[in-house]
Structure 1
Amino acid sequence: MSNVLPVLDLRDADRGPSTRADFLAELRAAVHDIGFFQLVGHGIDNGAEILRLTQSFFALPESDLAELSILKSPHLRGYSEVGRELTKGAPDQRRQLDIGPERDPSPADPDAAPYLWLVGPNQWPAAMPELRPAITAAMDALTAVSHRLLRLILAALDAPEDFLDPIVSPDPQVHLKLLHYPGRRAERPDEDQGIGVHKDYGLLTLLLQDHHGGLQVSLTEGEFIDVPPVPGAFVVNLGELLEVATRGYLRATTHRVVSPPAGVDRHSVPFFYNPRLDATMLPLPTRAVRDAGGVVHDPDNPLTNSYGANVLRGMLRAFPDLIALHHPELLGYSSR
């Protein structure tokens, strides 16, 4: 199937009233009808270098990577081998490095919110000192683009552009992953779950993918289409909290990644732009939201208006062994 995802140029938002109006109309259609689009003109011109660093990281000796094991981090930062993360109980066939804002751990407090242990330091490879400054700068740039894009989405819905500023300022809970999807094993060609079917937790995801592709989006129940790589573009999709804040008018669309064929290595870098951990979403003050029919109810994934609750519930599903190791008291946590 040909690419049905629109390609939007962020520069059009500043090219005069008529071009801006056309851009906002296209953006509104993309986030309402599909929940995915491709973004160019974002001003981040070192995507190829970020992908090169990603490839170099996963080419490090396994002993170097083991030093960064996510098993050592109570904050779920670090390196995961193939099969460490689960989606709907099945192991994802990818390696990854999880990176968040560089913070000191929260002081121990039995009365603190149970998601505050997500705050903490990252783990960086000693053999690649260039990785930390490059990724830190990329996260800063992606945070700025994401915040601008969020404001434009609100403008496209005729809501005040700054309405969601209080939930992300001054400290959005951003998250970046370096990902490696190895080719399928010759003896298991049907083992193709790069990452299983899911939705993202927060507000916006911006994905840098290499030329191999593999990302698929479900626009109708049970049917998936490929998201072909567009040079220089970030694939943008919406998270569950925007579906909650718009009573289902905006779509947090189901997607997955299919493992590449044997002998092919896929690399990608998703960036997740989220509210502060303690933030609670409010319905957007716009007619489109008031008239919306409500979020899609999934008994296996109940949506809440609390980002901290959403992400903690997701971490419990994705890393149950790590939760049992570092935070066994949370094993019975739901969204209380």
Structure 2
Amino acid sequence: MSKDQTSLPIIDISPFLINDLNDGRQEEIALQIHRACRTWGFFYVKNHGIPMKLQEELMEFSRQFFSQPLENKMQIAMSKGGRAWRGYFPVGNELTSGKPDGKEGLYFGTEIDDDNHPKIRNKVPLHGRNQFPSVEKNDNEFRHVILTYMAAMENLGRSIMTGLALSLKLDGNFFDKNYFLDEPTCLFRIFNYPASFCQQKGNENLWGVGEHTDYGMLTLLLQDDIGGLQVKLGHDKWMEAPPISNTYICNIGDMLDRMTGGYYRSTLHRVRNLSTSRDRLSFPFFLDPHWDAEVLPIPMDEIMKIDDDAEYRWDKASVHKFAGTYGDYLLKKVSRVFPNLAEEQTIIQPNSY
């Protein structure tokens, strides 16, 4: 597989959905995942098991929500979500590499509505109740669609992580046993890139999302048919990652990059919103380690080990020097995206990164 090819690989993930580690097809699929992670850090997955009807309902309800006046959407502003870090933010309120993005969005996480849950009692940041969006006559149904979708995506992500484990010559349940611990950190976003933003004078050259890598373990992206996602190849070449019907784009994040010592590298990407006729929707889901899981290097063969190359990396960070829990790491990242919202949280629980 060469970086000269013009499209990302498409991988049939169905052999991992049946949870049968004796399925002979899994070895070949794991090899495809290995090649994709070493070459691109990105790939499409097909035959993923997420019903098309569920995808369509999610998109339709999301369009209804974002079409409302700003004052309606601000009724569930993230500032009202407290430490749970959930709710709505308007265009320009999320930063990438210190610059505001041309998108608005909704933040969700695992729903915890039990005040006696240990994470709630201990006031752990990024845990708690979601603020669900309101749409005319369908509030409860939209809530149901969001929670159903998140549960389906967690299952899909776990299946892909089985393939990733096998691609690294590990037991298929390696991540379940060592990092998810029956309670992975699941974060879900609904982003809207307004066409009106592109039409405003002075915004023609602004990015929907600037150049960045994802900070977690695994990202699964559903996007509508407009497109705009670009993946960086090498130092200066960008490739389009267009929507392909009924597939998800999957990419590895900085945490898996760290855990593999740079063997599987997270890849820079960005979004250009080119639509001037209608808004663009995207739905990234992030499957990450348990909040309290200690982040440790994955056992690697000597031939897989990569020398420290921090000076050549875009963030100048060493993947060989880190310690602490995933929660420590995540709070540090939050403070860069929403500095005002994260300020209290990072004081409450300092991190070691």
Q: 2:331–2:342: 8 Å Cα contact kept in structure 1? A: no
Equivalent in the alignment of 2:162: 151
Q: 2:226–2:275: 8 Å Cα contact kept in structure 1? A: no
- C-alpha deviations, 1:133-178, integer Å up to 9, x for none? 1111111111011111101111122111222223112111100011
What SS is found at the alignment partner of 2:257? Answer: helix
Q: 1:7–1:39: 8 Å Cα contact kept in structure 2? A: yes
Q: Which amino acid aligns with 2:32?
A: E
Q: Which amino acid aligns with 2:352?
A: S
The counterpart of 1:173, out of the listed 168, 171, 185, is 185
Q: 2:329–2:351: 8 Å Cα contact kept in structure 1? A: no
Equivalent in the alignment of 1:76: 85
What SS is found at the alignment partner of 2:276? Answer: coil
Provide closer, same or farther for how the CA distance between residues 129 and 68 of structure 1 changes in structure 2, counting only shifts above 3 A: same
Equivalent in the alignment of 1:66: 74
The counterpart of 2:337, out of the listed 318, 321, 329, is 318
2:251 and 2:290 mapped to 1: Cα distance?
Answer: 19
Provide closer, same or farther for how the CA distance between residues 140 and 295 of structure 1 changes in structure 2, counting only shifts above 3 A: farther
Shift of 1:23: 1.8
Shift of 1:301: 5.1
What SS is found at the alignment partner of 2:233? Answer: strand
Equivalent in the alignment of 2:42: 36
1:39 and 1:57 mapped to 2: Cα distance?
Answer: 28
Paired residues in the alignment total 329
Q: Which amino acid aligns with 2:66?
A: F
- TM-score of the two chains, using structure 2 as the length reference: 0.85
RMSD value, Cα: 2.6
What SS is found at the alignment partner of 1:50? Answer: helix
1:2 and 1:236 mapped to 2: Cα distance?
Answer: 18
Equivalent in the alignment of 1:48: 56
Q: Which amino acid aligns with 2:347?
A: E
What SS is found at the alignment partner of 2:160? Answer: helix
Shift of 1:291: 2.9
Provide closer, same or farther for how the CA distance between residues 62 and 129 of structure 1 changes in structure 2, counting only shifts above 3 A: farther
Bigger relative contact order, structure 1 or 2 (CA pairs below 8 A, ≥6 apart): 1
Q: 1:244–1:295: 8 Å Cα contact kept in structure 2? A: no
Equivalent in the alignment of 1:329: 347
| Equivalences for residues 241-260 of structure 1 within 5 A | 241-260=255-274
Shift of 1:99: 0.4
Gaps of 5+ in 2: none
Q: Which amino acid aligns with 1:95?
A: E
Shift of 1:17: 5.8
Q: Which amino acid aligns with 2:192?
A: H
Provide closer, same or farther for how the CA distance between residues 67 and 186 of structure 1 changes in structure 2, counting only shifts above 3 A: closer
Shift of 1:62: 2.4
Q: 1:245–1:281: 8 Å Cα contact kept in structure 2? A: yes
Shift of 1:295: 6.4
Shift of 1:300: 5.6
Equivalent in the alignment of 1:309: 328
2:223 and 2:332 mapped to 1: Cα distance?
Answer: 27
Q: 2:192–2:280: 8 Å Cα contact kept in structure 1? A: yes
2:303 and 2:181 mapped to 1: Cα distance?
Answer: 23
Shift of 1:29: 0.2
Equivalent in the alignment of 1:20: 26
Matched, 1:96 2:96: no
Gaps of 5+ in 1: none
1:5 and 1:247 mapped to 2: Cα distance?
Answer: 23
